[in-house]
Structure 1
Amino acid sequence: MGKGIEPNQPYLTNPIRPSGEWKVWWRLLRPHTLTASFVPVGVGTALALQNGHFHLVLFLAMMIASILIQAATNMFNEYFDYVRGLDTAESIGIGGAIVREGIKAKTVMTLALAFYTISILIGVYICYHSSWWIAAIGLICMAVGYFYTGGPYPIAYTPFGELFAGFFMGCIIILISYYIQTGTVTVESILVSMPALILVGAILMANNIRDLDGDKEFGRQTLAILLGREKAIRFLAGMFVISYIWMFVLVVMHIVSPWLMLVFASVPKAIQATRGFRGKTAPIQMLPAMKATAQTNTQYGFFLALGLLLTHWI
Structure 2
Amino acid sequence: MAGNPSKNRKRPPAKKRKPGGNPEKAHVSRDPRRVEPATIRDWVGAARLRTVPLAFTPVLIGTGTAILVTGVFHWVIALACLVVAVSIQIGVNYANDYSDGIRGTDDYRVGPARLTASGRVKPRQVLTVALVFFLIAAGAGLAITIRTQQWWLILVGAACLLAGWFYTGGKRPYGYYGLGEIFVFVFFGLVATVGTNWVQAFVIPQEAWFGGVAAGLLACAVLLANNLRDIDQDRLAGKRTLTVLIGKRATQWLFTVFVLGAFVIGVVLAVFYPIAWLTLMALLAALPAILIVWTYRAPRELVVALGLTSLTSIAFGALLFWAFVG
Q: TM-score of the superposition, structure 2-length normalised?
A: 0.84
CA shift, 1:149, in A, is 0.4
In the aligned structure 2, how far is the partner of 1:268 from the partner of 1:234? 19
SS in 2 for 1:109: helix
1:273 pairs, out of 273, 285, 289, with: 289
Match of 2:132 in 1: 114
Q: How does 1:163-182 map to 2 (within 5 A)?
A: 163-182=182-201
Q: Is the 8 A contact 1:24 1:101 kept in 2?
A: no
SS in 1 for 2:245: helix
In the aligned structure 2, how far is the partner of 1:110 from the partner of 1:176? 27
Percent identity, please: 29
Q: Is the 8 A contact 1:27 1:95 kept in 2?
A: no
Match of 2:215 in 1: 196
1:44 pairs, out of 59, 62, 69, with: 62
Match of 2:325 in 1: 309
Select between 94-103 and 132-141 the one with higher mean Cα deviation.
94-103
Match of 1:297 in 2: 313
Match of 2:48 in 1: 30
Match of 2:116 in 1: 98
| 2:187 is equivalent to residue 187 of structure 1 | no
In the aligned structure 2, how far is the partner of 1:150 from the partner of 1:229? 25
Q: Is the 8 A contact 2:109 2:230 kept in 1?
A: no
| 2:168 is equivalent to residue 149 of structure 1 | yes
Q: Is the 8 A contact 1:15 1:103 kept in 2?
A: no
Q: Is the 8 A contact 1:236 1:274 kept in 2?
A: yes
In the aligned structure 1, how far is the partner of 2:321 from the partner of 2:34? 46
SS in 1 for 2:104: coil
SS in 1 for 2:115: coil
Deviations for 1:263-287, whole angstroms, at most 9, x for unmatched residues?
A: 1111121110111122335321322
Given the superposition, is the C-alpha separation of residues 44 and 153 from structure 1 closer, same or farther in structure 2, using an over 3 Å criterion?
same
In the aligned structure 1, how far is the partner of 2:168 from the partner of 2:280? 34
Match of 1:264 in 2: 280
Q: How does 1:192-271 map to 2 (within 5 A)?
A: 192-252=211-271, 254=272, 257-271=273-287
Q: Is the 8 A contact 1:76 1:109 kept in 2?
A: yes
Select between 51-60 and 132-141 the one with higher mean Cα deviation.
51-60
CA shift, 1:154, in A, is 1.1
In the aligned structure 2, how far is the partner of 1:281 from the partner of 1:217? 20
In the aligned structure 2, how far is the partner of 1:155 from the partner of 1:95? 23
Q: Residue type of the partner of 1:268?
A: L
CA shift, 1:95, in A, is 6.2
CA shift, 1:36, in A, is 1.7
Deviations for 1:150-179, whole angstroms, at most 9, x for unmatched residues?
A: 112212112221121121012211111111
In the aligned structure 2, how far is the partner of 1:46 from the partner of 1:94? 36
Q: Residue type of the partner of 2:53?
A: T
Q: Residue type of the partner of 1:37?
A: A
In the aligned structure 1, how far is the partner of 2:297 from the partner of 2:124? 33
Give 5+ residue unaligned stretches, structure 2.
Answer: 1-30
**Deviating runs (4+, > 4 A) in structure 1?**
none
Q: Residue type of the partner of 2:319?
A: F
CA RMSD, Structure 1 to Structure 2 (Å): 1.9
Give 5+ residue unaligned stretches, structure 1.
Answer: 1-10
Q: Residue type of the partner of 1:263?
A: T
Q: Is the 8 A contact 2:105 2:239 kept in 1?
A: no
Q: Is the 8 A contact 2:178 2:241 kept in 1?
A: yes
CA shift, 1:309, in A, is 2.6
